[in-house]
Amino acid sequence: MDDLLRIDDGLSEEQRLIRDTVKTFVADRILPHVGDWFEEAVFPARELGPVLGSLGVLGMHLEGYGCAGLDAVSYGVACRELEAGDSGLRSFVSVQGSLAMFPIWKYGSAEQKEEWLPRMAAGEAIGCFGLTEPDHGSDPANMRTHAKQDASGDWILNGAKMWITNGSIADVAVVWAQTEDGIRGFVVPTDTPGFSAPEIHKKMSLRASVTSSLYFDDVRLPASAVLPGVRGLKGPLSCLSEARFGILWGVVGAARACLEAAVGYATTRVQFGKPIGGFQLTQEKLAWMYVGLGQSQLTALHLGRLKDAGTLTPQQVSFGKLANVRAALDIARRSRAILGGNGITLEYPVIRHMTNLESVLTYEGTEEIHLLTLGRALTGLDAFH
């Protein structure tokens, strides 16, 4: 589909190369299968992990330890092309790079970094991020999971997490817990006795993605398991800023895939003697979708440049997550309508993207959380509590 605003012309040669490489990977390795994975509710993580690792997209914005060390716009472009395949694929990459590798890279000890980052960058070890709990989603400050040091100095971790992407397939979990010293992060090998991670089934969204609960039943960890470099809620929230950045780019890809499907359908499906794309009501839908897509792309590129300049704020990330997910869902829903009855089958990508985007609207801060963040930025008044 034509990039009317020529937004990608603003990308560097290297960024365009990354775009084309990831796009080709998605066309060859993901699109032929992802409808079946979605229907069967599987994500072949062990098979895809090393391939994604060799593509260089796992922790691609981090320096050293086998990571590609690329700029934020490059990371964003990669997320966009991955999510044009499926939000579950981008989720896998977001969780691995931004939520599991990033806290180890930013706040971990030298030993934690050496132990986990090279294997995670290569896709040989899979990570997950445990913040949300059954009773504490939007309000993680009140989490119940807790860790206490015993006389030997070991940490004893107890509690439960819910809705954890990659949970039951992970080799390592970054778990946030209350301690006597406030919220701390723990690097938990998933084969530690007392750790369990049953998969959550019956999802109607993000079906090509593994989602699990995590349970910690007197999980004994060495003193060295804690992330030494951060204390307090700002630890996990800073990771969320990284992952939300990937989402605000990623959903542009899902939206583009939906618009492309709608244009293709509208120009070939004939009713009342002409292609349905020839009716003004269809063109109005398509034109608004094009406007929404272009605005989202501009927002993503602008925020990417701010991130590369080192000035991106959490409020700006909330703006992008809120605006771009809303735009993508609107585009997906309009596309689904244009496809008529065919819009509800997995023969076309639209219903898959549309239902995936319902999760994306909720995770990494619900729409309401980002609205309240912008409300607080505008008024200086806290309406969360």
Minimum distance between the CB of residue 130 and ligand TGC, rounded to whole angstroms?
9
Residue number with CB closer to ligand FAD (131 or 301): 131
Q: Does 375 bind ligand FAD (CB under 6 A)?
A: no
Q: Are 53 and 122 in contact (CB under 8 A)?
A: yes
Closest approach, Cβ 160 to ligand FAD, in A, equals 12
* 132 binding ligand TGC? (CB under 6 A): yes
Length of the chain equals: 385
The rounded distance, in Å, linking the Cα atoms of 341 and 131 is 39
Task: Give the C-alpha separation, 110 to 75, whole Å.
Answer: 25
Residue 272, judged by CB atoms within 10 A of its CB (0-12, 13-18, 19+), counts as: exposed
Q: Which does 368 bind (CB under 5 to 8 A by kind): ligand TGC, ligand FAD, none?
A: ligand FAD
Phi/psi of residue 308, nearest 5 degrees: -65, -30
Binding residue (CB under 6 A) for ligand TGC from 12, 24, 138, 224 = 138
Residue nearest to ligand FAD (CB): 137
Contact 99, 243 (CB under 8 A): yes
Residue 373 binds ligand TGC, judged by CB under 6 A: yes
E strands along 80-181, which residues?
127-130, 146-149, 155-165, 172-179
Residue type, position 77, single letter: V
Is 240 a binding residue for ligand TGC by CB under 6 A? The answer is yes
DSSP 122: T
C-beta closer to ligand TGC: residue 252 or 276: 252
Residue 9's alpha-carbon distances to 1, 2, 327, 331, in angstroms, are 15, 12, 22, 23
Q: Is 144 in the site for ligand FAD (CB under 6 A)?
A: no
Region 11-40 residues binding ligand TGC, contact defined as CB under 6 A: none
240's tokens: 């969320």
Q: Is 1 helix (H, G, I), strand (E, B) or coil?
A: coil
**Number of residues located near ligand TGC, criterion CB under 6 A:** 25
Task: State the catalytic residue, choosing from 111, 364, 367, 368.
Answer: 364
Is 364 considered catalytic here? yes
Nearest approach, Cβ of residue 234 and ligand TGC (Å): 3
375 lies in the site for ligand TGC, by CB under 6 A: no
State yes or no: residue 206 binds ligand FAD (CB under 6 A): yes
Q: Cα dihedral angle (72, 73, 78, 84), rounded to 10 degrees?
A: 130
Which does residue 46 bind out of ligand TGC, ligand FAD, none, counting CB within 5 to 8 angstroms by kind?
none
Binding site residues, ligand FAD, CB under 6 A: 95, 129-132, 137-138, 163-165, 206, 211, 359, 362-364, 366, 368-369, 372, 384
Instruction: Please give the positions annotated as active site.
Output: 364
